[in-house]
Structure 1
Amino acid sequence: MAAVLRAVMRLPGPAVWGRPLYGLQCCNGQDLRRWVGSRSPTLKEKQPGTETEKFQMIYRFDAIRIFRYLSRLKVAQTALTVVALPPGFYWYSQGLMAFDSLCLVGGIAGFALAMLCWMSYFFRRLVGILYVNESGTMLRVAHLTFWGWRQDTYCPVADVIPMTETQDRPQELFVRIQQYSGKQTFYLTLRYGRIVDRERFTQVFGVLDTLK
């Protein structure tokens, strides 16, 4: 997955990397939905009182839009591969396809499913944008769903483990956002991502070597 990220970040073309992504500008913590669609957080993902609170962006990863398209492309490719299995079995039963060819189609479909599960696991945990509310008590994590849409997950700041207390290093390609409660773990890249508000970021994650 590290190789995938490096390849994405090296893609040429000013249309992609020469300017901030369309719709990623933020003023006063306004919702950014264009990079992965307009899907709202579900009630299960929302915390009481967050609907009326203002959130300030502290971090963003511009290339998340590329990973959005990669996620959707992988789902479409896997669906097409799996759909090809029933015709393959039919042709084999009619003697129109050799057994080796049927095994090849089945192997490709199985590999595509395995890759979809692996890539989806990572994409759904890759952080696109981080927000903190004005009181500094709630962290909002914008990430992708299985289908490549945006999803916001709320985490109490008190439950977030500072990176200074983990074994991750800011120089690494990915660092984890972990919680004391052991709930969902997210991944962000300080190497390719951009810290928008350093003061609020350090209040949540601690003073890192690269931020001093």
Structure 2
Amino acid sequence: MAALLRAVLRLRGPAAQGRPLHRLWYCSVQENPKRWVGIRSRPSEEKPPGPETEKFQMVYRFNAIRVFGFLSRLKVAQTALTVLALPPGFYWYSQGLVTLNSLCLASGVAGFALGMLCWMSYFFRRLVGILYVNESGTMLRVAHLSFWGWRRDTYCPVEDVMPLTETKDNPQDVLMCIQRYSGKPTFYLTLRYGRIVDRERFTEVFGAVRAYK
């Protein structure tokens, strides 16, 4: 997955690390936290009661997340088309219009596409796009991708988030894990290609780590 991350960023060029995204994956502090400019927002299952009454401050942003969102949606569409082609293939085989080898090849491609979708989705759904912290410093909001490639917000109590200084990850690695004491799903962020927007609030949650930006 680190190799995939490097490949996507290399395709986008040097501007991927510094150019802000004005229409996608950016939400102003003054705007409604539930609003996502240019991307459909879906509520999180872990959303605490009444978070819309709190203001959240952005502390971290990964600009290239929209590219991964596009790849995720593209992979879902490609897999769906591949799987939907199987029923006509079986029908044509029953009519003698295609050979058994062709049918087996189509089935193998469909199976491979499904496997790749599961593998890619597992990573994409855990890749952090933006991190927010509320004004009181007690709640972390993680903006990441859903299975369909759209934005999804997950809310985590800060006291449940393990500081990066307590993990075995190295800040120089392409990816670092955001782990939770409760054992809930792990998220991944990159300090090499992402940017810490508010270092003070970021340090309060994740500890003092050396970042590239």
Same fold (TM over 0.5): yes
CA distance in 1, matches of 2:210, 2:4: 26
User: Which amino acid in structure 2 is aligned with residue 34 of structure 1?
Assistant: V
Change (3 A) 1:17 1:165: closer
Contact 2:29 2:55 (C-alpha < 8 Å) held by counterparts? no
User: Which amino acid in structure 2 is aligned with residue 157 of structure 1?
Assistant: V
Unaligned runs of 5+ in 2: none
Change (3 A) 1:134 1:29: farther
Aligned pairs, number: 210
CA distance in 2, matches of 1:38, 1:120: 18
User: Which amino acid in structure 1 is aligned with residue 174 of structure 2?
Assistant: L
Identity across matched positions, percent: 71
Shift of 1:56: 0.3
Aligned to 2:43: 41
Shift of 1:30: 4.9
Contact 2:73 2:148 (C-alpha < 8 Å) held by counterparts? yes
CA distance in 2, matches of 1:13, 1:34: 24
Aligned to 2:66: 65
CA distance in 1, matches of 2:193, 2:178: 16
CA root-mean-square deviation: 2.1
Aligned to 1:22: 22
Secondary structure of the structure 1 residue equivalent to 2:11: coil
- State the TM-score, normalized to the length of structure 1: 0.92
Change (3 A) 1:30 1:195: farther
User: Which amino acid in structure 1 is aligned with residue 2 of structure 2?
Assistant: A
User: Which amino acid in structure 1 is aligned with residue 29 of structure 2?
Assistant: C
CA distance in 2, matches of 1:17, 1:132: 22
Secondary structure of the structure 2 residue equivalent to 1:183: coil
Aligned to 1:9: 9
Q: Deviations over 1:120-150 (max 9, x none)?
A: 0111100000000011010000001001111
User: Which amino acid in structure 1 is aligned with residue 3 of structure 2?
Assistant: A
Contact 1:29 1:56 (C-alpha < 8 Å) held by counterparts? no
Aligned to 1:95: 96
CA distance in 2, matches of 1:107, 1:69: 25
- State the TM-score, normalized to the length of structure 2: 0.91
Change (3 A) 1:62 1:210: closer
Aligned to 1:119: 120
Shift of 1:6: 1.1
Change (3 A) 1:159 1:29: farther
Contact 1:140 1:154 (C-alpha < 8 Å) held by counterparts? yes
Q: Deviations over 1:66-118 (max 9, x none)?
A: 01100000000000000110111111111111111111000000000000000
Unaligned runs of 5+ in 1: none
CA distance in 1, matches of 2:202, 2:160: 15
CA distance in 2, matches of 1:209, 1:22: 27
CA distance in 2, matches of 1:51, 1:110: 42
CA distance in 2, matches of 1:77, 1:54: 39
